[in-house]
Structure 1
Amino acid sequence: MNLRPVLGAAIAALSLAACATPTAVPPVGPGPVTPHRPRPEPPAPRLEPAPVRPVELSSLQGWAREDHAAAFRAFRETCHVARRRELADACARAKARGTLGPSDAKAFFEEVFQAEAVPGDGVLTAYFAPVYAARRKPDAEFSMPVRPKPADLVNGQVYADRTEIEGRPTDEAIAWMRPEELFFLQIQGSGVLVFEDGRRMKALYAANNGRPFIGIANPMRDRGLLARDNTSGEAIRAWLAAHRGPEADEIMRLNPRYAFFRLAPDDGKPPVGAAGVPLPGGRAIAVDPGFNTYGDVFWIEGEAPLLAGAFPTYRRLVTALDTGGAIKGRVRADLYLGEGPAAGTEAGRVRHTLRMYRLVPRS
């Protein structure tokens, strides 16, 4: 807002003062003392943020060891979702090139892009598309219903919490799962269910109850249920399975968020992220859309893992194609690692210090 001085009142006051009759001079002697009012300090000059200086991709740590051909293939397949206009030309150039080998792909990125550091350090985690066993009818092991979106749930509004939903009738259940595996399916957002007859169906995210996501790793660590350096997804899932029943239920209910699903035939394709395209394994990240834009390309550096058994570093080109309830902040990324148990084991161990560089096309 532009604040402009109001001159009319000041001019009127001056005019009245000039026309007023002078008053008598007061006699000499002690009188009221006017307190000293220091002159106000001038406002500090507004400091503009320092400009971000682009750096060459060749200077990024780990760039020479990147699989540039795989990175180019993923970029070419997904770049059409980019929201920034300046990426349109880079995308068109990539699509015109066709398939590129490692050296040509490396040259393409270095010719088209520079990198800008995103200020600050953050957190890198990972997720995957699980494949879980399921049943058409419940039994002692497969005791938790997969629920469809309730008819009275309005998207964007706060709905019943996990405890209340789990106490409701199960007439509309679309499948039955082990409780701890349904819990992780809800965290991942989608997956594949394999039924007793071998039929595979995709469990696709339909809605959630609008409650905040609260991770259970820290409470389990604080209660002494898990070692401080062993709060991986694998360790959490194993504990919940070993304590299936009231003990595990109490822990899972610490997270009030509840997800609902719908079933669709398994087409063998990767899950579709929030940007509307299938997620390339190892090349897609979920971001906070309040700070980053779908289609943006990043170089990520994940180091200093907190969890036992984790890979020491993650350095690669990725594209922002998804989001998640626990992904908050500018320097925050959730790396999609693919489908199945191996991807799940790896994803559960990723909690690294993160630095991000946004790729920007050369002007």
Structure 2
Amino acid sequence: MNFHLLRHALMALIVGTLVACTTTKQQHDPSPVPELQPHGGGAAARPPLATNTPTKSRWVAVDWSELPGVQQDSFSEAWNAWIKNCERPNTVFAGLCREVRQLSIADEDAQRSWLMEKLQPYRLEAVGGGPDGLLTSYYEPMFDAQRIPGNGYNVPLYQTPLGLGKRKPWYTRQQIETLPEAQAALAGRAIAWLRDPVDALILHIQGSGRLNITEPDGRQHLIRVAFAGTNDQPYKSVGRWLLDQGLVRDATWPGISAWIAANPGRVNEMLWSNPRYVFFREEPLEGLDAAFGPKGAQGVALTPGRSIAVDRNSIPYGTPVWLSSPGPTVALNRLVFAQDTGSAILGAVRADFFMGWGQEAGDLAGRVKQNLRLWALWPRSQVGQAPHLK
């Protein structure tokens, strides 16, 4: 396995073991949220009465001056995410969408002034805890692929098999790759073929990805493979398996890459330690669609650098959120939108930041695990559904 593939292997293992990124409708290895520190002062508020009523957080009304970097953020960049947000808005925010669209051609000062006039910031805190939480990041992988196998492209990405629901759970990852009856159920169901099984595992972990696919006639173009279902087997982290087997001391790049390079005959054993298998559907990727990520749990396309996954029991989908994180990997003070979720994204002050797609985004996303503070931005006009001060 060459260095390029090892770098991708690192991303899969870090995502599965250390940062526990979310994906669109995909399951991930849980990563514990750090214990929140007690926080004094401020008037705690009950959560908003929205479609998805939060129960894990308390909302503390604050002044806009508390939000770090609010005068420096590029609101014109954030507005693309807000327009996407308005394709399937939370009912509380639907009334703002007409003005949001009108302001898409306004300057940033006008957008900032409108935001401050229309929305009230609420600092998010854990019930009985404080304002500090955890930020991780996720991304959309991008690989070369072929429509038919051959020339080293021998790892399939499958559509859902016929009769998937008749057997629950379905075959494990190892059984899918070795049992004739599982292979028969998947015959003719391959969307595309990759060169390396570790690349396929990354797509399974992230839940979607972009493929630069070569058709039988030699034509190349981009497609997206999006999450379509699983075999209903439990997710197990391959990084955790390496640690438990004593094969690496920690799931970091040097140890993992050295182990894979030294043990090519055991790569399948490592991969089979995760019985969960993901099936995909193909989506076209052209024009303006290529500028956005896959659809999140809210049902709208994710915007790189402006979409986050959250615990829906803390923040309702579609809520504008002010995010602040000092680093060390990347310092962020910006307007984002709660548009996705994931099984590892749990807690009042917990977010997974959508970095974008491709190797550069993946390399950066895999290193993000840092302190976080969040402020939910709620319409001032929705006093009947806004958090109420105790």
1:66–1:220 Cα change, 3 Å = farther
Change (3 A) 1:88 1:325: same
Q: Tell me, yes or no, if structure 1 residue 171 matches structure 2 residue 187.
A: yes
Cα displacement string for residues 117-152 of structure 1 (whole angstroms, at most 9, x for unaligned residues): 221433222122222011234458433211110222
Query: Residue in 1 aligned with 2:29?
Result: none
TM-score in terms of structure 1 length: 0.73
Contact 1:118 1:358 in 2 (8 A): yes
CA shift at 1:57, angstroms?
2.5
Structure 1 Cα separation of the partners of residues 174 and 138 of structure 2: 25
**SS of residue matched to 2:86:** helix
Match of 1:199 among 186, 209, 221: 221
Is 1:248 the counterpart of 2:262 in the alignment? no
Q: How many residues end up aligned between the 2 structures? A: 306
Match of 1:210 in 2: 232
Partner of 1:150: 161
Q: State the partner residue of 2:75.
A: 68
Q: Does 1:261 align with 2:254?
A: no
Amino acid corresponding to residue 151 of structure 1 in structure 2: L
Alignment correspondent of 2:370: 352
Alignment match, 1:298 = 321
Shift of 1:260: 0.3
**For 1:59-108, what per-residue CA distance to the aligned partner results, in whole angstroms no more than 9, with x for missing partners?**
212223222221233223323423242x2233332223332222222212
- Aligned mates of 2:358, 2:238 — CA distance in 1: 22
* Greater CA drift, 195-204 or 351-360: 195-204
Shift of 1:256: 2.8
Whether the aligned pair in 1 keeps the contact of 2:140 and 2:209 (CA below 8 Å) is yes
**Which amino acid counterpart does residue 102 of structure 2 have in structure 1?**
A
Unmatched 5+ stretches in structure 2: 1-42, 46-58, 127-131, 382-390
Q: Look up the SS of the partner of 1:104 in the other structure.
A: helix
Instruction: From the superposition, tell whether residues 240 and 122 of structure 1 become closer, same or farther in structure 2 (CA, over 3 Å).
Output: farther
State the one-letter code of the partner of 1:131: M
Q: Quick check: 1:315 aligned with 2:355?
A: no
1:245 is displaced (CA, Å) by: 4.6
Q: Distance in 2 between matches of 1:64 and 1:259?
A: 43
Moved more, 131-140 or 197-206: 131-140
* Counterpart-to-counterpart distance in 2, 1:337 and 1:185: 15
**Is 192-201 or 172-181 further displaced after alignment?**
192-201
Change (3 A) 1:98 1:346: same
Q: Distance in 1 between matches of 2:233 and 2:71?
A: 44
**Aligned partner letter, 2:89:** A
The aligned residue for residue 189 of structure 1 is: 207
Structure 1 residues 344 and 298: CA distance shift in structure 2, 3 A = same
| 2:129 is aligned with 1:106 | no
- TM-score (ref. length: structure 2): 0.69
**What displacement does 1:333 show?**
1.8
In the alignment, is the contact (CA less than 8 A) between 2:118 and 2:379 conserved in 1?
yes
How many angstroms apart in 2 are the aligned matches of 1:244 and 1:265?
Answer: 38
In structure 2, what is the Cα distance between the partners aligned to 1:290 and 1:186? 26
Question: Are the structure 2 counterparts of residues 102 and 241 from structure 1 closer, same or farther at C-alpha, using a change threshold of 3 Å?
Answer: farther
Q: Separation in 2 of the partners of 1:231 and 1:61?
A: 33
| Contact 2:133–2:349 (8 Å) recurs in 1 | yes
Name the CA distance, whole Å, in 2 between partners of 1:176 and 1:147. 9
Could you say which structure has the larger radius of gyration?
A: 1
Aligned-pair identity in percent equals 33
CA contact (8 A) 1:206 1:261 kept: yes
Q: Aligned equivalents of 2:285 and 2:372: distance in 1?
A: 34
Q: Structure 1 residues 152, 316: closer, same or farther in 2, change over 3 A?
A: same
Q: Offset of 1:217 from its aligned partner?
A: 3.7
Q: 2 CA distance for matches of 1:342 and 1:181?
A: 15
Partner-residue secondary structure (3-state), 1:360: strand
1:259 aligned partner, one-letter code: V
Identify if the C-alpha distance between structure 1 residues 73 and 193 changes in structure 2 by more than 3 Å, giving closer, same or farther. closer
Counterpart AA for 1:95: R
Contact 1:149 1:260 (8 Å CA) reproduced: yes
**Helix, strand or coil at the partner of 1:272:** coil
RCO higher in 1 or 2 (8 Å CA, sep ≥ 6)? 2
Query: Quick one: which of 90, 103, 126 aligns to 2:137?
Result: 126
Distance 1:226 1:135, change over 3 A: farther
**How far has the Cα of 1:220 moved from its partner?**
4.0
| Stretch deviating more after TM superposition (58-67 or 243-252) | 243-252
Provide the aligned C-alpha RMSD in A.
3.1
The correspondence for 2:101, drawn from 92, 95, 105, is: 95
1:59 equivalent to 2:66? Answer yes
Distance in 2 separating the partners of 1:211 and 1:288:
23
- Looking at structure 2, the residues matched to 183 and 240 of structure 1 have their Cα atoms a distance apart, in angstroms, of 17
Q: Distance in 2 between matches of 1:345 and 1:195?
A: 22
CA shift in 2, pair 1:223/1:303, >3 Å: farther
Counterpart-to-counterpart distance in 2, 1:204 and 1:254: 23
3-state SS of 1:115 partner: strand
1: CA distance, partners of 2:172 / 2:362: 27
| Cα distance, 1:291–1:200 mapped onto 2, change above 3 Å | same
